[in-house]
Structure 1
Amino acid sequence: MTSPPALTVHQLAKSVPGGRRLFHNLDLTVAPGEIVAIMGESGIGKSTLLNLVAGLDSADAGTISIAGQALDDRQDDARTIIRRDHVGFVFQAFHILPHLTLAQNIALPLVLARADTAASLARAITMLANVGLPGRGGDYPAQLSGGELQRIAIARALIHDPALILADEPTGNLDPETAERILSLLTTQVRASSAGLVLVTHSDCAAAIADRVLVLGPTGLTPR
């Protein structure tokens, strides 16, 4: 049986307080294993679009489905479950919890889903090796460089086999050489997991990993 798209967005519209319209009639489909980069001017609504897709904000109109699961008209608890089960996040600021070990940070999505703790930590150890940090499970975030912290964020985003990864400027705080390594790692891990990836970026280098590059404007997304 054919898998549903990782993401389907249809006729999405969003305005900000004061009535300024960010975009309308926005359509986007991301296939499993596909990488889509979204670019555009600052303030155009790229991060807002990610928040809408993640169910953290509500659109004025339109529909959003993740792995065939519709977000529209769902209560907050139901959106949270879809987000927990089907979405992984990679942020510019990493958002790694300093009081948890690296293994505990990576295992967090599984623990929040009430998976067995021992099995979750064992899976986290495997993910550490996958992102090039074997044997570091007992270390703490303060012991890592920025590039290493982003590796932890990638491992955490993928540990629960989500259908969709959302990445908001994931290399914005990294030097060019480290950013290139992180982008290569992200590409490899996403392809291996068959997750769809939506990457918001200002960087041409980051956008170069994408299968498609789209530019966000008031009328929606257009190919670059």
Structure 2
Amino acid sequence: MVVPKLLLEITDLRKTVPGGRLLFDGLAMRLEAGELIAIMGESGVGKSTLLNLIAGLDVPDAGVVELDGVALAALDEDGLAALRRRRIGFVFQAFHILPHLTLAQNVGLPLALLRAAPAEVRARAIALLAAVGLAGRENDYPGQLSGGELQRVAIARALAHRPALILADEPTGNLDPETAARILALLIGQLREAGAGGLLVTHSDVAAACADRVLRLTATGLVEA
């Protein structure tokens, strides 16, 4: 019997926003390697903030976030940056695609930062662009793309370095149903292949149905949906 590997553990997490409004308190969650969890909830409840806390891009008021047994609070800024670079793939809701780089350069950036060979970086980027339906577009620039196409580039970039943890903030929000289904299949396939874990923030019942578990974020924490 294979014992599941605990990838992410969150304990008693508390977060308020400027002005003192409480987003959530006592939040706890465990994510195993190879597992995909969908997080749903009303707008403004703090779903994107939760992903930022898990990635070390924001700091909780209280509580502990551990990735592979390492508490984020024990790391300095350089340590957090190194952890994100090696272990985390993030699909931002605002995409954050760099306009002065080609699509291949954008997608390959996580691997380039890890000093992979240029040929490996480009080959991986081209393969992932094809996987998200952008074959032959590797030398285009972001300004030539629609919002939905930029979202697909962001997803490809998050997968480039085969991260242990994928954090996806509304990854199918700007996509038509057929493309969304293909992207979700790609995400799940990559998770299974790499034995990685994933957190998917979504308003889509269809996207959530692809997850192993669905949790709803409330002011008192995460509850089974």
| Comparing 120-129 and 100-109, the one that deviates more | 120-129
Q: For residue 149 of structure 1, what is the aligned residue in structure 2?
A: 150
1:58-94 per-position Cα deviation (integer Å, ceiling 9, x unaligned) = 1111111123332123211111111111100113333
Local SS of the residue matching 2:12: strand
Range with greater deviation from structure 2 (60-69 or 176-185): 176-185
Give 1:113's aligned residue.
114
TM-score (structure 1 length as normaliser)? 0.89
Name which of structure 1's ranges 100-109 and 134-143 shifts more when overlaid on structure 2.
134-143
What's the counterpart of residue 65 of structure 1?
Answer: 66
Q: Residues 58 and 93 (structure 1 numbering): CA distance in 2 closer, same or farther, change over 3 Å?
A: closer
1:3 and 1:112 mapped to 2: Cα distance? 30
Deviation at 1:125, TM superposition (A): 2.6
Aligned CA distance change for structure 1 residues 90 and 123 (closer, same or farther; 3 Å):
same
Q: Compute the RMSD of aligned alpha carbons.
A: 2.2
Counterpart Cα distance in 2 of 1:154 and 1:211? 20
Alignment of 1:150-169 (within 5 A): 150-169=151-170
Match of 2:105 in 1: 104
User: Matched residues in 1 for 2:179 and 2:77: separation?
Assistant: 37
Q: Give the Cα separation in 2 of the matches to 1:67 and 1:161.
A: 16
Residues 150, 182 of structure 1: 8 Å contact kept:
no
Whether the aligned pair in 2 keeps the contact of 1:147 and 1:182 (CA below 8 Å) is no
Equivalences for 1:9-88 in 2 at 5 Å?
9-88=10-89
Aligned residue-pair number: 224
CA shift, 1:143, in A, is 4.1
Match of 1:6, SS state, is: strand
SS at match of 2:73: coil
In structure 2, how many angstroms separate the alpha carbons of the residues matched to 1:2 and 1:156? 30
Instruction: Tell me, in whole angstroms, the C-alpha distance in 1 between the residues paired with 2:142 and 2:224.
Output: 38
CA contact (8 A) 1:92 1:171 kept: no
Sequence identity percentage: 63
Q: Deviations over 1:159-210 (max 9, x none)?
A: 1111100111112222334323322332223222222110111111121111
Cα distance per residue 1:8-51 (max 9 Å; x no partner): 11111112223222111111111112110111111111111111
Query: Match of 1:217?
Result: 218
Give the Cα separation in 2 of the matches to 1:106 and 1:64.
28
Deviates more, 1:58-67 or 1:47-56: 58-67
The aligned amino acid for 1:83 is R
Answer whether contact 1:100 1:140 (CA < 8 A) is retained: yes
- Structure 2: gaps spanning 5 or more residues: none
Is this contact kept in 2: 1:96–1:141, CA < 8 A?
Answer: yes
The 3 A distance-change label for structure 1 pair 106 and 55 is: same
Q: Is this contact kept in 2: 1:101–1:139, CA < 8 A?
A: yes
TM-score in terms of structure 2 length: 0.89
Matched, 1:93 2:94: yes
Native 8 Å contact 2:155 2:171 kept in 1: no
Q: Distance in 2 between matches of 1:77 and 1:3?
A: 30
